[in-house]
Amino acid sequence: MSLKNQKRLNLAIFLIWLFHLSGIVGVVLGHKEWFIEKTPLNFLVCTVLFIWIYPMHTSRKWMVFGLFFITGMLAEWLGANYSLLFGSYDYGDNLGPKFDGVPFFIGINWALLTFITAEIVSKFLRGIWLRALSGAGLMVFLDFLMEQSAPDFDFWSFGEEVPLGNYITWYLLAFLFHLVFQKVKISGNYTFSLHLFLVQVLFFGYFMLFPV
């Protein structure tokens, strides 16, 4: 990696950690509403940095990313409007603009998480099926952490408790995404992918252990 690219990578990693750690500190210090309302900004920064560093520089990558975005949005639309696939839930007001009740960032999140978790498992594992099974597992693990804080942060809510069917459907859909990803043989920046995944695990894991 050239010195210029290394500097870009270091800057991107610094920014995603800065934003997430600032969020944790800000919420803990009593500014929960102000920081959580800025979640769309955090999503936007992470997405832009992902596009820049991964990088998203080929039509193949954009076509696959778009496929995951549209499919994820459709699945969430069926869930939010008709209680299909994931169970009965509603989205709150802290995830930015919506299409018929579903935040656009949710569709982006489906695509982005698939790309970074696929890059992580591809570093250590061989074989399409093993990578797809493991990548989907990482996505469901993160979803489990997010579910614990989602109602309190006004992201989304299932009501009483999150149904098991939500995690099963999440895993199956993520598995299909990963199979597609592996079949088209996309690759990106492992280091950035790992940091972006870990910083989200830290953020949501912290608030699962220490709810506010």
* DSSP string for 53-93: HTT--SHHHHHHHHHHHHHHHHHHHHHHHH--SS-S-EE-S
Rounded distance, CA 13 to CA 9, Å?
Answer: 6
Q: Give residue-wise pLDDT tens across range 177-198.
A: 999 999 999 999 999 999 999 9
Question: How much is the pLDDT for 212?
Answer: 85
Name residue, tokens 């696959």: 64
Give the CA-trace dihedral at 147, 149, 150, 152, to 10 degrees: 140
In whole angstroms, what is the distance from residue 149 CA to residue 51 CA?
27
Helix (H, G, I), strand (E, B) or coil at 133: helix
Burial class (CB in 10 A: 0-12, 13-18, 19+), 15: middle
Q: What is the pLDDT of residues 9-57, one digit of tens each?
A: 999 999 999 999 999 999 999 999 999 999 999 999 999 999 999 999 9
